[in-house]
């Protein structure tokens, strides 16, 4: 629930064509302890002001020259669009009260003002408004969590598949290609088994940062789970346009990892598939990239591989990007056999 201080710090706008009424309402609000109060006598300014400041409460006179309060509320609805309309209508006409509620106002205050009524209605409405905003923020946060990996903050598989579909549609419209790169860390299990999952988690965070730093802003870098990642490249023309970035990622991941008092080293293997040469749908592109990843692992790791139709049509075979690095932190022979 919002605290009293939260309520007193809420942003309030007073709208009335009478300077005396504005002065009176501002005085009432100041004496109660409200700290962020603005006002205007021009109803046409209300929507632009709300768009800029996102008021928590708008005290709106219904009878004004030019735009009346009902017309102002219509404009505010377009800004909120299904949200909570923070309007407390001010009216001396009993017949306007129900009409104001039907138009979207959350409550009303009768003129002439009754001080106790003003304080109570303003407080109650602000409490509901701020609670509504808290719930909306919580909902957005939950939605973000549902679409992003909790450890690295990268898009998860659910969001990734949507991003791939978008990249394919864009490529189709522009007669370009798109590439999917499937990454798996070489030797990650040995790090987890030897030094513990806390070190493994730090490695995954660093890997995600390196992948982001060595990808274009428009590319999607995702964590599928465990030590598996995927990078989606849009707007490519040939397989070579994906092989260059893949080599760059192999090199970036192979750099040492400095975590606390340890220096760790591992590498990555990458499988590449190309749209539309290898496949024309998300599932098949991922499957082909996964098989190419397996081939990269089987061929010695620390390299990228593409073995779909795009690779078969390439003039030159794909070669390892870098020699396999030796681990700085010694691992037993048994551990070194882990993937």
Whether residue 257 is contained in a domain is answered as yes
Say whether pLDDT at 65 is over 50. yes
Tokens of 324: 């396999």
pTM, to two decimals = 0.58
Active site residue 186: no
Confidence band for 312, pLDDT divided at 50, 70 and 90: low
Of 100, 122, 145, which marks where a domain is finished? 145
Say whether pLDDT at 279 is over 70. yes
Name the domain count of the chain: 2
Q: Provide the residue range defining the domain that includes 43.
A: 4-145
| Radius of gyration from C-alpha coordinates of the chain | 30
Whether residue 85 is contained in a domain is answered as yes
Q: Which one is catalytic: 61, 149, 219, 227?
A: 227
Report pLDDT digits (tens) over 183-219. 999 999 999 999 999 999 999 999 999 999 999 999 9
247 and 175 within one domain:
yes
Residue 132 · residue 43 · CB < 8 Å: no
Output the domain CATH number for residue 86.
Answer: 3.40.50.2300
Confidence band for 114, pLDDT divided at 50, 70 and 90: confident
185 and 119 within one domain:
no
Q: Which residues contact 146 (CB under 8 A, 6 or more apart)?
A: 158
164 and 54 within one domain:
no
Find the mean pLDDT for residues 28-47: 95
Find the mean pLDDT for residues 284-298: 96
Find the mean pLDDT for residues 226-230: 96
Pairing of strands 220-225, 257-259: unpaired
Say whether pLDDT at 318 is over 50. no
- Listed residue (235, 254, 239) closest to 288, CA to CA: 239
Say whether pLDDT at 323 is over 50. no
161 and 131 within one domain:
no
Find the mean pLDDT for residues 133-159: 83
323 φ/ψ angles, rounded to the nearest 5 degrees = -70, 150
227 and 300 within one domain:
yes
Output the domain CATH number for residue 193.
Answer: 3.30.70.270
255 and 189 within one domain:
yes
Residue 58 · residue 69 · CB < 8 Å: no
Which residue's structure tokens are 């023309």? 237
- Least confidently predicted of 110-114, 243-247, 317-321: 317-321
Find the mean pLDDT for residues 250-270: 95
Higher-scoring residue by pLDDT: 26, 334: 26
Which pLDDT score, from 0 to 100, does residue 234 have? Answer: 92
Confidence band for 313, pLDDT divided at 50, 70 and 90: low
């Amino acid at each position: 629930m919002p605290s009293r201080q939260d309520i007193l710090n809420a942003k309030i706008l007073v709208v009335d064509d009478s300077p005396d009424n504005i002065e009176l309402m501002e005085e009432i609000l100041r004496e109660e302890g409200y700290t962020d109060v603005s006002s205007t006598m021009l109803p046409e300014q209300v929507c632009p002001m709300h768009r800029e400041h996102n008021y928590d409460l708008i005290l709106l006179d219904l009878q004004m020259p030019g735009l009346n309060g009902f017309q102002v509320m219509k404009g505010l609805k377009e800004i909120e669009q299904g949200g909570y309309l923070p309007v407390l209508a001010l009216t001396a006409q009993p017949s306007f009260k129900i009409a104001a509620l039907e138009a979207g106002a959350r409550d009303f205050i009768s003129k002439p003002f009754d001080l106790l009524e003003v304080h109570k209605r303003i407080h109650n409405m602000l409490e509901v408004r701020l609670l509504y905003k808290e719930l909306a923020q919580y909902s957005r946060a939950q939605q973000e969590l549902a679409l992003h990996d909790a450890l690295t903050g990268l898009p998860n598989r659910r969001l990734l598949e949507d991003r791939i579909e978008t990249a394919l549609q864009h490529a189709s419209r522009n007669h370009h290609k798109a590439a999917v790169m499937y990454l798996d860390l070489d030797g990650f299990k040995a790090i987890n088994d030897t030094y513990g999952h806390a070190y493994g988690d730090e490695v995954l965070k660093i890997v995600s940062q390196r992948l982001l730093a060595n990808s274009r802003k428009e590319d999607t870098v995702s964590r599928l789970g465990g030590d598996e990642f995927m990078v989606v490249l849009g707007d490519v023309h040939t397989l070579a346009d994906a092989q260059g970035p893949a080599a760059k990622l192999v090199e970036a991941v192979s750099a040492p990892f400095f975590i606390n008092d340890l220096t760790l080293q591992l590498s990555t293997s990458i499988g590449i598939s190309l749209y539309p040469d290898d496949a024309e749908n998300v599932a098949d592109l991922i499957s082909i990239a996964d098989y190419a990843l397996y081939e990269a692992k089987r061929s010695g790791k620390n390299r990228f591989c593409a073995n779909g139709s795009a690779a078969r049509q390439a003039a030159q075979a794909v070669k390892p990007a870098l020699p396999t690095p030796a681990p700085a932190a010694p691992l037993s022979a048994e551990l070194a056999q882990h993937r």
